[in-house]
Chain A
Amino acid sequence: RKEVEQDPGPFNVPEGATVAFNCTYSNSASQSFFWYRQDCRKEPKLLMSVYSSGNEDGRFTAQLNRASQYISLLIRDSKLSDSATYLCVVNNGFSGGYNKLIFGAGTRLAVHP
């Protein structure tokens, strides 16, 4: 089983739609969680961290369920510019004082007019 698993996608949605991505992780000791965004032929960049209480940044909402080992990302009012691959990331490190970032395979989103 992969350490981090995501919806395979691709998701093709019209502008203005609401879309949700899911991610599960296998290591119950994982300490921190993130969503990254990767545009075509570019490097990944942090979209948002995911906190236990859930957090929102504009049109983006991230949720964490530790009991189910599940992370989600909700995008409201999708824009054309949201088209990208969204990567779920889990930090399995720092028991030894370091970070070990494990990435999911990513979910591709295509927003069309």
Chain B
Amino acid sequence: DVKVTQSSRYLVKRTGEKVFLECVQDMDHENMFWYRQDPGLGLRLIYFSYDVKMKEKGDIPEGYSVSREKKERFSLILESASTNQTSMYLCASSPGHKNTEAFFGQGTRLTVV
């Protein structure tokens, strides 16, 4: 069965902390994505990666960075967390060709206080 696993369901962090959100997929997918989801705004793409060590900025990359050292793992890093980064973060993966389904992790609800 297809599996995308995010390391935490809920996180509470303080302003200024460095935060790591981890995502692992077991489907050998080339593409991995990080989105954040906010009420009324839907899912917004932060970063995506189409291969190991390759990354592309999405629509809202400011304040975030990513790391993909291994094919199965894609990490989202908040260098210095701020309250406006309080959100639901969703990781997804998909195979490397078009017309393919993306599979999502269960999401991480991050609260920055």
Interface residues of A (CB under 8 A from B): 3, 31-32, 34, 42-46, 49, 87, 89, 91, 93-94, 96-106
Question: Are B102 and A98 in contact, CB atoms less than 8 angstroms apart?
Answer: no
Q: Which residue of B lies closest to A91 (CB)?
A: B98
* Additional A-B contact list (7), CB under 8 Å, known A91-B99, A105-B41: A43-B90, A43-B107, A46-B101, A87-B43, A89-B102, A93-B98, A101-B94
Q: A43-B107, A87-B42, A96-B50 are in contact. Are A101 and B90 (CB under 8 A)?
A: no
Known interface pairs A101-B45, A103-B43, A106-B42; A32-B107 also in contact (CB < 8 Å) = no
What's the dominant secondary structure at chain A's contact region?
A: loop
Structural contact, A99 and B90, CB atoms closer than 8 A? no
Q: Is B74 an interface residue (CB 8 A)?
A: no
Q: Mark B22-66, 1 if CB is under 8 A from A, else 0.
A: 000000001101010000111111001011000010110000000
CB of B100 within 8 A of CB of A103, answer no
A99 near B31: Cβ-Cβ < 8 Å: yes
Known: A31-B98, A105-B40. A45 touches B104 (CB 8 A): yes
Asked if B92 is an interface residue, CB under 8 A from chain A, the answer is: yes
Q: Which residues of A contact B101 (CB under 8 A)?
A: 34, 46, 49
B16 within 8 A of A: no
Sampled A-B contacts (6; CB under 8 Å): A42-B106, A49-B99, A97-B50, A99-B94, A101-B45, A103-B43
| Residues of chain B from 54 to 113 with CB closer than 8 A to chain A in the complex | 56, 58-59, 90, 92, 94, 96-102, 104-107
